[in-house]
Amino acid sequence: MFLIIAILLIKYKPIYKVSISGEEIGYLDTKNTLEESIKNKMNETQKVNIDSIQINANPEYECKLVDRNATTNEEKIIANLKDKITVTYKYYEIALSENTIQKVNTLEEAEELINLVKEENNTIDLTIDEKYTQNKEELAITNLEIAKQEISAKTKEAIKIQEAKKAEEERIKAMPEVNGIKLAIKPVSGTITSRYGASSKIRKSNHTGLDIATSAGTPIKVVANGTVTNAKYSGSYGNLVKINHGNGIETWYAHTNKMYVKVGQKVNAGEVIATVGSTGNSTGNHLHFEIRVNGKHVNPQKYLYK
């Protein structure tokens, strides 16, 4: 009996036939390492870092004696299990603040790239984040040698973006504000010819806005985001555009020549809404600019043209 067994083991070897729902999918040397075998084979062929593999079916194993020269076939198993496995990939992101600079396969590669950057500038604070995904397309992992060529330029670009963002935040922070509405831009540049509250023979009451003289046809820009509530000839104001900015804030643009907006239209800060003219009760080309808070006019020079 022992002699027979010895002869069999010399000529044959035991392997496991693997089946799913009664369908043969391939052969393995051991039945306890199916997930690990698939993981190793996929890592080898895909050249990415697979963290885990979950088989969404119960494999069945049957021990068989086969010729010792016979080989197992993980490739066939992977092909047959394609729709029955969930693969989780692991990779590493190098980031500057919230800006991802580079993605690599291993922690060692990430650390090597950071050291390259610090050799140029040791004040840059790059971080390494361990990431997981089941979508291989999200990896977009660059070859390490290519990553070495790119990392410095990408870091510098990220710093520029970061600095520009900070500068924009500071610019917005410095903007004049009325009831929480930021006034992003002056409507026109020119010479102030009549200030708020001034009296004049051509007016029945004191001046309710600010007159800025400039040449005819000069573009008039809206000072903040809002909605057009008036865009028509309005008595002494001539062609008048009114913009509602919310929070009870409204701006008026009077004596315009051409109006480019309509009632109900949404406009963004800096958008051209009209051109300078001399319509209505006017003695020359200029923009009459008003700011109203809850329906009452206020001095525009508290906020603009200081």
- What fold, for 181-302? Glucose Permease (Domain IIA) (2.70.70)
Query: Residue 193 CB: number of other CB atoms within 10 A?
Result: 14
Scanning 175-301, the segments in alpha helix (DSSP H) are none
Q: Note the pLDDT of residue 8.
A: 58
**pLDDT at site 43:** 67
The tens digit of pLDDT for each residue in 220-230 reads 999 999 999 99
Per-residue pLDDT, 45:
61
Q: What integer pLDDT is reported at residue 47 of this predicted model?
A: 63
pLDDT at 18: 83
pLDDT given at position 138: 80
Distances (CA, A) of 51 to 55, 79, 95, 156: 14, 19, 21, 32
Q: What 8-state DSSP symbol labels residue 143?
A: P
pTM: 0.56
What is the rounded radius of gyration, in angstroms, for the C-alpha atoms of the chain? 37
pLDDT of residue 202: 61
Three-state SS at 120: helix
CA distances from 154 to 85, 101, 141, 157 (A): 36, 6, 15, 5
CB atoms inside a 10 Å sphere around CB 148: 15
Strand partners, 53: 87
Regions of the chain with pLDDT less than 70: 1-12, 31-33, 41-48, 68, 70, 140-141, 201-204
What pLDDT digit, counting tens, does each position of 207-220 carry?
A: 999 999 999 999 99
Predicted pLDDT at 183: 96
Domain ranges of the chain: 2-83, 90-174, 181-302
What are the residues facing 221 on neighbouring strands? 272
Per 3-state DSSP, the chain is made up of helix, strand and coil in percentages (nearest 5) of 25, 40, 35
- Cα dihedral 164, 169, 173, 177, rounded to 10, equals 100
Strand positions, DSSP E, the chain? 12-20, 23-28, 50-55, 59-67, 85-96, 99-104, 126-133, 177-178, 181-182, 191-194, 210-213, 219-221, 226-233, 239-246, 249-259, 266-267, 272-276, 286-293, 296-298
